[in-house]
Amino acid sequence: MTQRVNLGPADQLREGRAMQVPAKRAGTAEAIAVVHAEDGGFYALDDECSHESVSLSEGFVEEDTLECPMHASAFCLRTGVPETPPAFEPVRTHLVTVEDGDLILHPGTPHPEA
């Protein structure tokens, strides 16, 4: 059975913002960054940048990317692939759905476009 974590009401995460779900809560080895993108969709990436050990959830939501706060690599929210250097390794994506108004994180289930 796939893992599901209820993160509470979706409207608590404002558009254009990201939040960290700690590893313990996500039931994963690493924390996960959950993003409310400017297109209104919800996405999730591994929280740690693939360039250095920096929390992507402290970065910036720009269109369909999450930009690292340290050196500004912009990771695609659908694929986890960095679109700008210096990072070149992708980060994992995780599916996020909205069910009855709640955000449901599916750790370990990649976004369908990844």
Q: Which is nearer to ligand FES, 86 or 110 (CB)?
A: 86
Find tokens 């694929």 and name the residue. 79
Q: What gap in Å lies between CA 42 and CA 101, rounded to an integer?
A: 12
Q: Which is nearer to ligand FES, 5 or 45 (CB)?
A: 45
Q: Which is nearer to ligand FES, 66 or 103 (CB)?
A: 66
Least separation in angstroms between CB 55 and ligand FES: 9
Least separation in angstroms between CB 97 and ligand FES: 27
Q: What gap in Å lies between CA 44 and CA 71, rounded to an integer?
A: 20
Q: What are phi and psi of 76, to 5 degrees?
A: -65, 130
Least separation in angstroms between CB 72 and ligand FES: 6
- Look up residue 27 and give its amino acid: G
